[in-house]
Chains A and B, each alone.
Chain A
Amino acid sequence: MTTMTVIEAVRSTLDEEMARDDRIFIIGEDVEAGGVFRATDGLHAKYNDRVIDSPLAESSIIGISIGAAHYGLRPVAEIQFADFIHSGFDQLCSEASRWCYRTNGDAYLPMVVRTPWGGGVHGGQHHSQSIEAYYAHMPGIKVVAPAFPADFRSLLKASIADPNPVLFLEHKRIYRLIKQEMEGAPAETQLSRARVTRKGTDLTIFAYGFMLHESLNAAETLSGEGVDCMVVDLLTLNPLDKETVLESAKATGKVLIVHEDTLTGGLGGEISAIIAEEAFEYLDAPIKRLAAPDVPPMPYHHAMEDFFMPNREKIAAAARALAAY
């Protein structure tokens, strides 16, 4: 019996992978000392020069990982907070995402960029952001955002094994909040599949990361009221598992998409378009999106932060209204 938190799953997986394959190395800010969330705790002592502190320069972290991956190593880069990744946007989107495409597969980049994302930790505008939509928009980069420790483990392994650049998103609110017995827990191994985490017949909730847990909680509340919610964990945001999205939407005919990213241009729009285009006849209600309001960043003060973020109560209210439609 091994119970693990998310951060323990990440750390132990990095350790195991580095022991297995000496081409893997870690680069990022403060990683030698274990990182600000302790994801690389103890790894420098064990793997020496394969855990490398970088200067405070995100373009370097990603650009250097590109070079090293091209050379044949397996970099696992850490961007300390997802909010700071954008100075490496050029390296990810103008370079990494198209390395394989523009060489017709002659060159490719087996690299992972791990980064803590998301709000609910009083992090204000630059320690709370949801960044997934910018990067999920870009073909050539895979974007993963698990919710449970067992998936963190299996999908981190899959990301390291993948010959393409993978952005591996770790919601910081659940690092220590969510624990799971690892043995026998469902663990997705493909970077292309969503999972029906909770079965249900009245409506379908799509979520990922911290919001997946809030959605499961809301579903529990609603089941006491006689509303049976299906909850789908999207797991990989690019490429999206269209098949599971469509099947789960068709199964209930009512769809609620939840994310803490802002509404306009968020992934909810894409999922809703897929369902509207390919499952329109199955719908019994308009598709509903629950997302953060269209303001630039997450505000700092807890009153405004709570207002900004979707949560279990807001999800339950939205689901209740949808069930009644």
Chain B
Amino acid sequence: MTATRTRRTRSRETIEDYLLSEQQLEDMYYHMLLARRLNERMLALNRQGRAPFVIAGAGQEAAQVGAAMALKKGEDYVAPYYRDLGVNLVLGMTAREAMLNLLGKRDDPNSHGKQMPSHWGNVSRRIVTQSSVVTTQFLHATGIGLAAKLRKDPIVVLTSCGEGSTSKGDFHEALNFSAIHKLPVIFFVENNGYAITESNEKEMPVPNVADRARGYGIQSAMVDGMDCIAVYQTVRPAVDQARRGGGPFLIEAKCYRLWPHSSDDDDSRYRPKKELEEWIKKDPLTLFRSRVEDDGIFPREDLDEIEKRVEEEVRDAAQWAMMQPDPLPEDALTYVYRELS
């Protein structure tokens, strides 16, 4: 890859209005864009018959990237959910790894072909393995928070889910327990408007997930989940406070699922077209781009260059991953138990 023009070095100094540096803003855009373009390519591979299943996070990139950037990479823990490609990219997952995961390849660091795509997990990056059963990870995060508190380790755990998951018992049990013990856990709810076909009104009788926090004695906040900078600015203080022993925090990022639930879903059956059109206008990528462009943080060419870089990376990742070895059939028998060391 050769740069066509010389660009100036990004400053690492915090810009006042943003609470982020130029470098961080570039990373932000890069990761959001990488998540979206990867998802687009994944869906294309699905339609070509090369990938059996895709579950994506289009529309939630700002929430995911903004929240993950508020953490200490490699120190803090994350117990994400299946749409959180953006979270994983910020914490170190490469485009190639994302494609290995999509194709269930042997060397996928998440699960080596044993799980459906987008079921993340990476011990060295402190990303906790997760299943398709929603909200179980809230209790895992709580357990990590408890362990860290017992050991007096200054870490924070961020766990995330969609708003659909907040009706499950584990959501409430986790909030309750972490509040009792003042654990360093951030509960991050990406309210994308839908649990497969069910809109918010069918899932809960209150307008906001964040309203529920009060019942557990937990602090909460709501944020525009389409605005990556606003998400970072909301999550970061909550993370810092939790690290100082301030206890758990519930954050609801209001975003929108721009795509169907999965590659097997037809959202035209239940989603009003007009509603979708309205939300497309608030696409987090467009929103971010116009803000930093209008504010004169980056010239348009710089952003175009990031676009190009991402596109190239995604193309390479897909081609490379398809050539990688598949697991052996007998690998199905491995690692049922861990051997005593």
Please tell me if the beta carbons of B141 and A102 are within 8 angstroms of each other in the complex.
no
B21 within 8 A of A: no
Task: For the complex, give the distance between the alpha carbons of A100 and B115 in Å.
Answer: 12
Besides the known contacts A71-B147, A108-B338, A162-B340, 14 further A-B residue pairs in the complex with CB atoms under 8 A apart: A55-B177, A57-B173, A57-B176, A63-B136, A63-B143, A64-B142, A67-B144, A67-B146, A67-B147, A68-B143, A91-B139, A94-B131, A101-B335, A102-B121
Q: Is B111 an interface residue (CB 8 A)?
A: yes
With contacts A91-B136, A102-B129 known, is A163 near B144, CB below 8 A?
no
List residues of chain A with CB under 8 Å of any chain B CB.
25, 49-50, 52, 54-55, 57, 59-60, 62-73, 75, 87, 90-91, 94-95, 98-108, 139-140, 142, 161-164
CB of B116 to closest CB in A, whole Å: 10
- Are the CB atoms of B147 and A104 closer together than 8 Å? no
The answer to whether A60 touches B140 (Cβ under 8 A) is no
Report how far A73 CA is from B340 CA in the complex, Å: 16
B193 at the interface (CB under 8 A from A): no
- Complex contact B150–A70 (CB within 8 A): no
- Tell me the complex Cα distance, A67–B77, Å: 11
- By the criterion CB–CB under 8 Å, are A163 and B338 in contact? yes
Question: Nearest CB to that of B121 among chain A residues?
Answer: A103
B140–A66 CB distance below 8 A: yes
Q: What is the minimal beta-carbon distance from B74 to any residue of chain A, in angstroms?
A: 15
Closest to B149 in A: A49
CB atoms of A103 and B123 under 8 A apart? yes
Given A60-B174, A101-B114, A102-B114, is A95 in contact with B140 using a C-beta cutoff of 8 Å?
yes
B interface with A by C-beta (< 8 Å): 77, 79, 110-112, 114-115, 119, 121-123, 128-129, 131, 133, 136, 138-148, 150-151, 169-170, 173-174, 176-177, 180, 334-341
Please determine whether B173 and A60 come into contact, CB atoms closer than 8 angstroms: yes
5 A-B pairs closest in CB distance = A67-B143, A63-B139, A71-B147, A64-B143, A67-B140
Per DSSP, are chain A's interface residues mostly helix, strand or loop, or mixed?
A: helix
Q: What total count of A-B pairs have CB within 8 Å?
A: 139
Q: Return A205 CB to nearest CB of chain B, in Å.
A: 29
Q: How far is the CB of B278 from chain A (nearest CB, A)?
A: 37
Tell me, rounded to whole Å, the shortest Cβ–Cβ distance linking A60 to chain B. 4
19 example contacts (A-B, Cβ-Cβ < 8 A) are as follows A49-B150, A55-B173, A60-B170, A63-B138, A63-B140, A63-B174, A65-B143, A66-B143, A68-B143, A68-B150, A70-B144, A100-B336, A102-B131, A103-B335, A105-B335, A106-B122, A107-B129, A139-B336, A140-B336
**A25–B146 Cα gap in the complex (Å)?**
11
Q: Which residues does chain B contribute within 8 Å of A66, judged by CB atoms?
A: 139-140, 143
User: Which of B79, B114, B140, B150 has the largest number of chain A CB atoms within 10 A?
Assistant: B140
> What is the CA–CA distance of A75 and B174 in the complex, to the nearest angstrom?
17
CA distance A60 to B180 in the complex (A): 13
B151: chain A residues at CB < 8 Å are 73
Q: In the complex the two chains form, is A104's CB within 8 Å of B335's CB?
A: yes
Report Cα–Cα, A154/B114, bound state, in Å: 35
Of all chain B residues, the one with the shortest Cβ separation from A25 is B150
Q: Please report the C-alpha to C-alpha distance between residue A104 and residue B112 in the assembled complex, in whole angstroms.
A: 7
B340 A103 Cβ-Cβ under 8 A: no
Tell me which residues across on chain A come within 8 A of B115, comparing CB atoms.
Answer: 102
The reply to whether B123 and A107 form a contact with Cβ atoms under 8 Å apart is yes
Pick from B133, B142, B177, B337 the residue with the most CB of A within 10 Å.
B337
Measured between beta carbons, the chain B residues less than 8 angstroms from A73 are 147, 150-151
Q: How far does the Cβ of A88 sit from chain B's closest Cβ, in whole Å? A: 10
Asked if A103 contacts B150 (CB within 8 A), the reply is no
What separation, in Å, do the CA atoms of A200 and B91 have in the docked complex? 62
Find the B residue at minimum CB distance from A97: B336
A90 to B148 CA separation, bound complex (whole angstroms)? 24
- Residues of chain B within 8 A (CB-CB) of A162 are 340
Measured between alpha carbons, how far is A63 from B147 in the docked complex, in Å?
Answer: 13
* Contact between A59 and B140, CB atoms less than 8 A apart: no
From A50, which residue of chain B is reached at the shortest CB distance? Answer: B150
A142 CB contacts on chain B under 8 angstroms = 337
A59 to B176 CA separation, bound complex (whole angstroms): 12
Q: Which of A69, A87, A105 has the most CB of B within 10 A?
A: A105
- From B122, B177, B337, A64 is in contact (CB under 8 Å) with B177
Is the Cβ of B147 less than 8 Å from the Cβ of A102? no
Given A67-B140, A70-B140, A139-B336; A54-B129 close (CB under 8 Å): no
Across the interface, do A95 and B121 meet the contact criterion of CB distance under 8 Å? no
In the complex, the answer to whether A54 meets B340 with C-beta atoms within 8 Å is no
If the complex has contacts A64-B139, A101-B335, A105-B338, are A94 and B133 also in contact, measured as CB distance less than 8 A?
yes
Contacts of A65 on B, CB cut-off 8 Å?
143
With the chains together, A95 CA to B130 CA distance in Å? 8
Q: How far is the CB of A325 from chain B (nearest CB, A)?
A: 39
